[in-house]
Amino acid sequence: MATQAPTPDKHDRLLLLDGHSLAYRAFFALPVENFNTTDGQPTNAVYGFTSMLINVLRDEQPTHIAVAFDRSEPTFRHEQYVEYKAGRQKTPDEFRSQVSLIFEVLDALRIPRLSVAGFEADDIIATLATRATALGMSTLVVTGDRDAFQLVDDSVTVLYPIRGVSELARMDPAAVEAKYGVPPQRYRELAALVGESSDNLPGVPGVGPKTAAKWLTKYGDLDTLVARVDEIKGKAGDNLREHLAGVLRNQQINKLDCDVALDLTPDRLTMGQWDREEIHTLFDSLQFRVLRERLYASLTTAEPEADEGFDIELDALEPGALGAWLEANAPAGERTGLAVTGTWGRGTGEITALAVASRKGPAVHLDPVQLVEDDERALAAWLADASRPKAVHDVKGPMLALTARGLALEGVTSDTALAAYLALPGQRTFDLADLVLRYLHRELTSESEDSGQLTLDGSGEQEAAQELAVRARAVAELADVLDADLERRGATRLLNEVELPLTRVLADMERAGIAVDADHLAALSASLGGQVKEQEQGAHDAVGHEFNLGSPKQVQQVLFDELGLPKTKRTKTGYTTDSEALTGLLAKEGHPVLERILRWREVAKLKSIVDSLIPMLDDAGRIHTTFNQMVAATGRLSSTDPNLQNIPIRTAEGRQIREAFMVGDGYESLLTADYSQIELRIMAHLSGDEALLAAFNSGADFHTITASRVFGLPPEQIGTELRARIKAMNYGLAYGLSAYGLSQQLRIAVDEARHLMDEYFEQFGGVRDYLAHVVDQARRDGYTETILGRRRYLPDLNSDNRQRREMAERMALNAPIQGSAADIVKVASLNVDHALRERGMRSRMLLQVHDELVIEVAPGELDDLRPLVAEQMAGAYDLRAPLSVSMGTGRTWQDAAH
């Protein structure tokens, strides 16, 4: 007895996507070099696919959905034609590593994905589309495979990508016929005549779509054309008769199977209730902040993440009433949210407005320009009162602006951006609205009973005031939730004792800046400019004509087409000409143009650094960098405008740049202090390897002593090359270096590098055991920890994607060491700053770059400063391989090198 098919709603719309087809298009539409996570995972295919998916979901509003994927096994078409799809280029590794990521996106969104052994994705799509039509559903097929056009009818429409995956053509029956000259049911026959090069299905020579369409229109279908093939005149007719067997084979292979055995029927392909926290975690890992926002704005199948906005009363105060309001609504012992608007950077800032709000009471909005004297005095006292706890979002900028206005800020017990960074170190940005949505499930908007929810866009004074009050309330509430989250993660002490106090130290350093010799920079720019031209001319002479050394395309043409040099790794735009590839090519071929190109790049980069510094000088001749606490997941600081970590110190020209940074007026010199081999000392401490600890405690050169043990030679017989090999090994292990990475660094075979590592571990077995334990423990816990409890979350340690898993393993190896070094340097900065203040010294810290502190020395303080800095830095943490501090002094940063 036949069962009656369910009767779907007349609006039921099935969306079917060809996963591999669309992902491959996305891969080649978006440059892989522009889409990578900070740990090196390519994301261009998964980004493009996810972006396209969001757009289609938004625009088409399907009620049912599925994504079909090809499988690696041969299909029935390979059995019919052994050469089917033969000759296709090898799938790029960068693409293969992303397919499982696309699976993760679909699984997190609860979108069904299907694949069947022996069949292609378009067979699954054809089966589902046919069955959906029988159920009375309409179907949209998104694919870059033109074979799907044979499915098009009044119920089935194909959305075909015509520009990457961002622009889709709507191919209904009229569109197919307009494009190809035949109705959809004849498209398979047209394709059989024309052929499909990507499937290795040759067509009739000299026959294109127009000729094929003309024949099919005249004879009605391919069967009739074949029966009357002798009527076709001319060369085209001869070719058709000669290749008729291939046409019939093509027709058979092109036919989509509409009866694949599937576990799911179209009416069951619904999008499930997806887990927002899972999406957060995945998109954090992929660093898809903008896509996440678009996703939440587009998908309506899940419960709304935001329950509501903030219902907050904004008090209007009479002049002189601020003190009483603060006493009543922001009293001692009760944390209050503070929000500030204005501009800041380059060591200063300007406040335009403030808002203060408790977690439950009213809020107040303040315009500093309009404050009367009593109110300004009350505000200053409240801000400076450490007994009045305050929560601020990303406090360093507002702190700079407040200080510029003569207002001290004390009692900050929570910076919600910093707290979120410690909780979610892999996230790239810590926007308040995103955190409020994530932690409080609320929108950063105001609600009122009269007007319902009002989205504040900053237009109008009242709206701006209400918006800032909402931010202050949100910060107050968010701080409590983040406090609890950090307590659960064991990071409370790290926030309160390291990161929060450090914001003030960093703000002071930014405000101080460092003096710069503008004349020296100008002269250096001119010198480097001359070297750029010299190298450019030398490159032109080496090949006999001019070309643009900054154009990868022209460099490719010169090296590989004109000179015939061995080709490097293939990319979408040809063959790579990056520095690593050209350095390897130079070592093998020795062509002078390679040396010229590499040197040109080096001096051009240095010139751009110098030229970028010159406009940054303020009226006092000082440059004020901006330190970033929330960029590196390991906890290391970075700096911008200028990026002082970008100034090389291993080249003569790089050292010349450092010579421009100098002691300022009223001070006598610069002092630099940094840790000697801090990462290696931490590795020795954490591993507890007795041989490694003994090498440090011997007082001799560490790399020479370790090389002596590995190679079984007395220290005096360890030459430069052997020491360099073990130095690379020592530091490489601290950075999670693989055998392949070591081979590339030392330019030796991978097997030789692996043998070197084995020899190393024979002598330092504690290091081997520690490294294995770190990864195993992190895989169980889901994170690594530094000596101060800074966690690095690594969900990819259990990923099915081998590339992502191995990358996470390398991060698990280096995160505790790199992160612990960052922790120690931060503690050292706090210790030195505290000691300077406690002793009333005028000397001041100016910079922290990597593991180095740069201090401007006040007249007469150097003799006291040296032991103070050494003591505070060495005492930052008690390692079993004690911290060692190196120092130097001089008029310039370079002179103070040691």
pLDDT tens digit string along 305-335? 566 889 899 999 999 999 999 999 999 889 9
Using DSSP's 3-state secondary structure scheme, residue 836 falls into: helix
Worst-scoring range by mean pLDDT, 355-369, 498-512, 702-716?
A: 702-716
Q: Is the CB of residue 258 less than 8 Å from the CB of residue 126?
A: yes
pLDDT of residue 467: 94
State yes or no: cis peptide before 642, omega within 30 of 0. yes
Give the Cα separation of 784 and 770 in Å (integer): 13
pLDDT at 78 over 80: no
Span 227-240, mean pLDDT?
82
Q: Where are the alpha helices (DSSP H) in 64-208?
A: 76-80, 93-108, 121-134, 173-180, 187-194
The model's confidence at residue 454, banded by pLDDT at 50, 70 and 90, is very low
pLDDT of residue 7: 44
Looking at CATH, the fold of the domain delimited by 679-819 is given as DNA polymerase; domain 1 (1.10.150)
pLDDT of residue 9: 52
Give the Cα separation of 382 and 4 in Å (integer): 75
pLDDT at 458 over 50: no
pLDDT tens digit string along 137-171? 999 999 988 889 999 999 999 999 987 777 899 99
Give the Cα separation of 555 and 577 in Å (integer): 7
pLDDT tens digit string along 37-74? 776 788 999 999 999 999 999 889 899 999 999 887 77
Q: What are phi and psi of 183, to 5 degrees?
A: -70, 165
The residues spanned by each domain of the chain are 13-177+257-268, 308-513, 519-623, 679-819
pLDDT of residue 39: 67
**Tokens coding 276:** 């927002």
The whole-model pTM stands at 0.78
Give the Cα separation of 344 and 390 in Å (integer): 20
pLDDT of residue 80: 64
Q: Is the CB of residue 381 less than 8 Å from the CB of residue 407?
A: no
pLDDT of residue 76: 64
Span 521-547, mean pLDDT?
95
User: What letter does residue 181 receive in the DSSP assignment?
Assistant: S
pLDDT of residue 849: 92
Give the Cα separation of 741 and 859 in Å (integer): 48
Give the Cα separation of 438 and 710 in Å (integer): 51
Residue with tokens 């800046």: 513
pLDDT of residue 449: 44
Span 450-456, mean pLDDT?
36
pLDDT of residue 489: 94
Q: Where are the alpha helices (DSSP H) in 624-713?
A: 652-660, 678-687, 690-697, 702-711
pLDDT of residue 234: 81
Q: Spelled out in words, what is the top-level CATH class assigned to the domain 519-623?
A: mainly alpha
CATH 3.40.50.1010 fits 13-177+257-268, yes or no: yes
Q: Strand 885-890 vs strand 669-675: parallel, antiparallel, or unpaired?
A: antiparallel
Which range among 235-249, 546-560, 692-706 has the greatest average pLDDT?
A: 546-560
Sequence letter at residue 143: T
**Tokens coding 369:** 């320009």
What size, in residues, is the chain? 898
Using DSSP's 3-state secondary structure scheme, residue 589 falls into: helix
pLDDT of residue 82: 58
pLDDT at 479 over 80: yes
**Tokens coding 376:** 């300004």
Residue 644: name the closest of 630, 633, 658 by CA.
658
pLDDT tens digit string along 203-223? 888 888 888 888 888 888 888
Q: Is the CB of residue 126 less than 8 Å from the CB of residue 151?
A: yes
Give the Cα separation of 208 and 196 in Å (integer): 11
Q: Is the CB of residue 282 less than 8 Å from the CB of residue 799?
A: no
Euclidean distance between the first and the last CA atom of the chain, given in angstroms as a whole number: 91
pLDDT tens digit string along 513-525? 999 999 999 999 9
The CATH label, of 3.30.420.10, 3.90.1150.10, 3.40.50.620, 2.40.110.10, for the domain at 308-513 is 3.30.420.10
**Tokens coding 760:** 């190393």
The model's confidence at residue 200, banded by pLDDT at 50, 70 and 90, is low
